[in-house]
Amino acid sequence: NVVNKPDHGTLDWVKICEKSSKVITFIDLAGHERYLKTTVFGMTGHAPDFGMLMIGANAGIVGMTKEHLGLALALSVPVFVVVTKIDMCPPNVLQDNLKLLIRILKSSGCRKVPVMVKTKDDVIVSATNFVSQRLCPIFQVSNVTGENLELLTMFLNLLKTRMPSQDDKPAEFQIDDTYSVPGVGTVVSGTTLAGVIRLNDTLLLGPDPLGRFTPITVKSIHRKRMPVPEVRGGQTASFALKKIKRSQIRKGMVMVSPALNPQACWQFEGEILVLHHPTTISSRYQAMVHCGSIRQTASIMSMSRDCLRTGDKALVRFRFIKHPEYLKRGQRMIGANAGIVGMTKEHLGLALALSVPVFVVVTKIDMCPPNVLQDNLKLLIRILKSSGCRKVPVMVKTKDDVIVSATNFVSQRLCPIFQVSNVTGENLELLTMFLNLLKTRMPSQDDKPAEFQIDDTYSVPGVGTVVSGTTLAGVIRLNDTLLLGPDPLGRFTPITVKSIHRKRMPVPEVRGGQTASFALKKIKRSQIRKGMVMVSPALNPQACWQFEGEILVLHHPTTISSRYQAMVHCGSIRQTASIMSMSRDCLRTGDKALVRFRFIKHPEYLKRGQRMVFREGRTKAVGNVLRPEPAALKQPPRAAARHDRRQHDKPDAITTHVQESDVTATDSPFEVQADKRGAAAGGAAGGGGRRPRKRHDKPPDAPALAAAAN
C-alpha cells in the first residue's frame, strides 16, 4: 500500500518508518543531455541498487535513452523499464516504440532478456530472477488512468538490496554533498560503502589538496531526517562533524577508518573500454573521470596502444589535473569528453532550419593535443559539407580571411571557423574583427504597423509592470497605445507605453529589429505571459487556437500520427500543441506534410509565413505557419447564458456571427477551462458582468470581433 499523503496532519519520516514494512528511496536523475554529468554522478556516487529507465510512450527511444542504458550496463546496475503515458499514445506508435526497445535490449551490446510484465505471475518471476542482470522487465503504465501501477508497486516491494553491508570490514564513507546548518555546524551526506560507523567514532577525512587525511569526530548521525546511533554498509546518511569548516570539504572526499591507512594518489592505472568516440584517443587526451563520488578531469599519460577508437580496450595510465583522490583497486569508472557531441549537431540543425547564418568558434585549443584538435576539425568540416548541411567551411587564420568571411557571410552558404584560446588569447583579435564587420540581417520595416513580441516580464518597484522583447516591425514611441494579447480568452487589451529603455538607457522610440523594455500603464504582471504580443490597432489582431502548417520531420524514432503532442516554438511562443489532422496517415523521419495543430492551454497570435520548430526533448520537425484560424472570443459560461436569455428574440444575428467566426458546435474543454479562469474578470470585453445595452444593438453584418465581444 503506497501512501502519497496523510489523511490528516503531516507525514514525517518518523511516522513513515514506524508504519512502513519497506522504504524505497528514488534518486531522480536528469534525462536531458545537458545534465548528463549530473546523471553520471548520481549513478556512480549514490551507488543505486537498481535502475528504473523511464521512457515516454509518445517520445520513444531517444539518444539519451540509449546513453543511460549504456551507463547502467557499464556500472553493472540491473535495469527495468517503465513505459509511461500509454493513455495518450496512439496504439501503433506505442507498439513501434516497444519493438524498437526490445530490439535494443536484445542487441549484441546489451544482451538482455526483455519480459513484458502483464500479470502478477510475471511480476513474481521477474523480481525473483532480476538479480541475474540478464532479465529486463518492461512495465507499461499510465499515471492518469492508473493502469498497471499496481504491478509496478508489487515489483518494487519484492526487490531486495544488492549491496552487502560488510559489517566486519573497516568503515568507509564517500561524501556526495556538504552543508552548513545553523546551530549544528558542518554536515556531510553520502553513502556508507563498508563497515559500521557509530556516534563519536573518529575517522580520517581526506584527501585535501596536498593529499593529507585529517582525523575528525562524528558528532551526530541522521538517516531520513531521524537521529540514529549507527549506520552500516549500503546505507545513506548525514553526519555532523566537529571542529571543521565546510570550505575544507568537497565532493569526492572520503571518511575512512584509521585501520585502512588511506593514501591519496595523483596517478592511477586502469583498463578501459571505449564505448563511443567520433575520432581517436591518444596520449595527453583529457576527459572527465567519474569514479564513485569523484568527478575530476584527468589526462592520459600513457597507453598500451598507440591510439584508441570505438570498441577498443587498453591499459591506460591517468593523472588527475586539480588534486589527488582516494581510489581503491577494482572500482568502476566512467569517462566523458566534449568535442562534437549530439547536441552540437542538434543546434546546427536548428540554425539551418530557421535560416540563421552560423559561424563556429573552437575553444580551449591551448589545452587540447594537436592530433585530437585536428580530428575534431576534420569531423566538423565533414558535417558542414554533408548533404543535410551543404555549408562551405572556411578556416579563418588571417585578417584577409576575416574580411572575405564577413563580406560573404550573408549568403548563408559560408561557415567561418575560428580556433581560439581564452587563456593565451590566440586568434581572439580575428574573432573580434569579424564580429565588428557583421551587419544586422533584420530590416527595420518602419513603414509597417508596430509589432512587438514579449520575451520576459518583470515587476519593478516604483515603476510597475515591465515587459522586454524584440520589435518585429514598425516604430513604437512613448505614450503609444497598442493592443496587448491574447489573454486566455483570446482578447487583446489596449495598453499605453509609459517609458522605453534600451540597454538600460531611456529612449524616445524603438524600431524594427531592436530589443527593448517597456513600462506599461494600469496592468498587472500576472496578466502578461511570454509569447504575448503588443501590436498596432491597425493590424486588427486575432488569436487562434488552431493553425495549419507545413512541416518537415527531421528526426523521430518511430511514427507521428494524429493526437501526437509536442512543444511548438514560434517566435516567443512556447506551448504544447496537438496534431488534429494531417495530409498523410503517419509521418517518419524525412517526411513532409500539411498538419493542422491545436494549442493545449490558450490561444496564440500567429502570422502566415512564421517559422516554427516542433520538438519533444530533441527537435522533431521544422516548418512554416500557412494558415492561422482566428478563434471566436468566448464569454464566461454564466455571462453567456444570461446573454442568450436576453437575446432569445434575435436568433438571426447570433447565427450570422457564429457562421462568420467559423465556430464549431462543441466547445473545446480547453476553452471551457479558459472561460472558467476568466469568469471573474467582469466588466472587460468578453469578461462577464453587466454590459451596456447599446453594444447588443449591432446589426447582423457587424465585424466578427465586435460580435464576439458581446
Provide mean pLDDT across the span 487-510: 94
User: Which of 118-132, 369-383, 469-483, 633-647 is predicted most confidently?
Assistant: 469-483
Provide mean pLDDT across the span 327-334: 87
Helix (H/G/I), strand (E/B), else coil: 373: helix
130-134, 193-197, 572-576: segment of lowest average pLDDT = 130-134
H or E, element range at 155 = helix 149-158
Residue 120 pLDDT: 94
With a cut of 70, say whether residue 3 has pLDDT above it: no
How would you list the strands of the sheet with 135-140, edge to edge? 51-56, 79-84, 135-140, 113-116
495 pairs with which residues across the strands? 482
Residue 6 pLDDT: 63
Residue 339 pLDDT: 55
- What are the C-alpha distances in Å from 148 to residues 50, 261, 570? 20, 51, 37
562 φ, ψ (degrees, to nearest 5): -60, 150
Provide long-range contacts, Cβ within 8 A and 24+ apart, for 377-382: 377/417, 377/419, 378/279, 379/278, 379/279, 379/339, 379/340, 380/340, 380/417, 381/417
42-56, 282-296, 345-359, 508-522: segment of lowest average pLDDT = 345-359
- SS3 track for 451-518: EEEEEEEEEECCCEEEEEEEEEECEEECCCEEEEECCCCCCCEEEEEEEEEECCEECCEEECCCEEEE
With a cut of 90, say whether residue 694 has pLDDT above it: no
How many percent of the chain have pLDDT more than 90? 50
- What are the C-alpha distances in Å from 678 to residues 425, 681, 684, 685? 57, 5, 10, 11
Using omega within 30 degrees of 0 as the cis cutoff, is the peptide bond preceding 229 cis? no
Which of these, 513, 503, 526, lies nearest to 680 by C-alpha position? Answer: 526
Helix (H/G/I), strand (E/B), else coil: 293: coil
C-alpha triplet 549, 550, 556: angle, nearest 5° = 110
Provide mean pLDDT across the span 556-575: 87
216 φ, ψ (degrees, to nearest 5): -135, 155
Residue 199 pLDDT: 94
Which of these, 663, 667, 709, 670, lies nearest to 688 by C-alpha position? Answer: 709
Helix (H/G/I), strand (E/B), else coil: 619: strand
With a cut of 50, say whether residue 637 has pLDDT above it: no
Provide mean pLDDT across the span 634-643: 46
With a cut of 50, say whether residue 31 has pLDDT above it: yes
Q: Which amino acid is at 79?
A: V
How many percent of the chain have pLDDT more than 70? 86
Provide mean pLDDT across the span 433-452: 88
Q: Which residues contact 471 (CB under 8 A, 6 or more apart)?
A: 450, 451, 452, 510, 511, 512, 513, 514, 515, 516
Rounded distance between C-alpha atoms, residue 571 and residue 605, angstroms: 10
Provide mean pLDDT across the span 645-658: 41
pLDDT tens digit string along 417-440?
999 999 899 999 999 999 999 988
Residue 528 pLDDT: 95
Rounded distance between C-alpha atoms, residue 269 and residue 319, angstroms: 9
C-alpha triplet 579, 582, 585: angle, nearest 5° = 110
Q: Which residues contact 119 (CB under 8 A, 6 or more apart)?
A: 151
pLDDT tens digit string along 470-482?
999 999 999 999 9
Residue 386 pLDDT: 86
Provide mean pLDDT across the span 685-703: 39
Residue 20 pLDDT: 80
Q: Which three cell numbers stand for residue 357?
A: 547564418
Which of these, 61, 79, 47, lies nearest to 155 by C-alpha position? Answer: 79
Other Cβ atoms closer than 10 A to 80: 23
Helix (H/G/I), strand (E/B), else coil: 108: coil
Pick the more confident residue, 270 or 61.
Answer: 270
Q: Which three cell numbers stand for residue 564?
A: 501526437
User: What distance lies between CA 629 and its chain's CA centroid?
Assistant: 30
Which of these, 312, 316, 276, 275, lies nearest to 298 by C-alpha position? Answer: 316
Residue 589 pLDDT: 83
Residue 675 pLDDT: 41
Residue 265 pLDDT: 95
The DSSP output letter for 258 is G
The overall pTM is greater than 0.75: no
Compute and round to an integer the Cα radius of gyration of the chain: 31
Rounded distance between C-alpha atoms, residue 4 and residue 7, angstroms: 10
Banded pLDDT at 234 (limits 50, 70, 90): confident
Residue 678 pLDDT: 41
Pick the more confident residue, 133 or 223.
Answer: 223
Q: Which residues contact 337 (CB under 8 A, 6 or more apart)?
A: 277, 285, 286, 287, 288
Q: Which three cell numbers stand for residue 493?
A: 487589451
pLDDT tens digit string along 584-632?
988 888 889 999 999 999 999 999 999 999 887 666 788 999 999 987 6
Residue 616 pLDDT: 74
Residue 388 pLDDT: 76
Q: Which amino acid is at 139?
A: F
475 φ, ψ (degrees, to nearest 5): -125, 135
- What are the C-alpha distances in Å from 516 to residues 99, 370, 539? 51, 44, 21
Determine contact, residues 575/568, Cβ cutoff 8 Å: yes
Provide long-range contacts, Cβ within 8 A and 24+ apart, for 209-214: 209/323, 209/324, 211/263, 211/264, 211/266, 211/323, 211/324, 212/264, 213/256, 213/262, 213/264, 214/244, 214/248
Residue 198 pLDDT: 94
Rounded distance between C-alpha atoms, residue 146 and residue 86, angstroms: 10
For the chain, the average pLDDT equals 83
Rounded distance between C-alpha atoms, residue 224 and residue 216, angstroms: 23
Rounded distance between C-alpha atoms, residue 2 and residue 161, angstroms: 19
Using the structure block, give the residue that is written with the C-alpha cell 512554416. Answer: 624
Give the chain's domains with CATH numbers. 50-158 (3.40.50.300), 267-336 (2.40.30.10), 342-437 (no CATH), 451-539 (2.40.30.10), 544-630 (2.40.30.10), 637-709 (no CATH)
Helix (H/G/I), strand (E/B), else coil: 707: helix
Banded pLDDT at 676 (limits 50, 70, 90): very low
Rounded distance between C-alpha atoms, residue 189 and residue 168, angstroms: 22
Which of these, 281, 348, 347, 341, lies nearest to 316 by C-alpha position? Answer: 281
Banded pLDDT at 280 (limits 50, 70, 90): confident
Pick the more confident residue, 625 or 2.
Answer: 625
* Share of the chain residues as helix, strand and coil, in percent rounded to the nearest 5: 25, 35, 40
Determine contact, residues 164/149, Cβ cutoff 8 Å: no
Residue 634 pLDDT: 53
Q: Which three cell numbers stand for residue 676?
A: 472558467
Largest CA distance in the chain: 95
Determine contact, residues 594/547, Cβ cutoff 8 Å: no
With a cut of 80, say whether residue 296 has pLDDT above it: yes
Determine contact, residues 601/568, Cβ cutoff 8 Å: no
- What are the C-alpha distances in Å from 456 to residues 54, 466, 523, 533, 570? 33, 9, 15, 11, 15
155 φ, ψ (degrees, to nearest 5): -65, -45
With a cut of 60, say whether residue 648 has pLDDT above it: no
Banded pLDDT at 187 (limits 50, 70, 90): very high
Residue 603 pLDDT: 95
The DSSP output letter for 599 is E
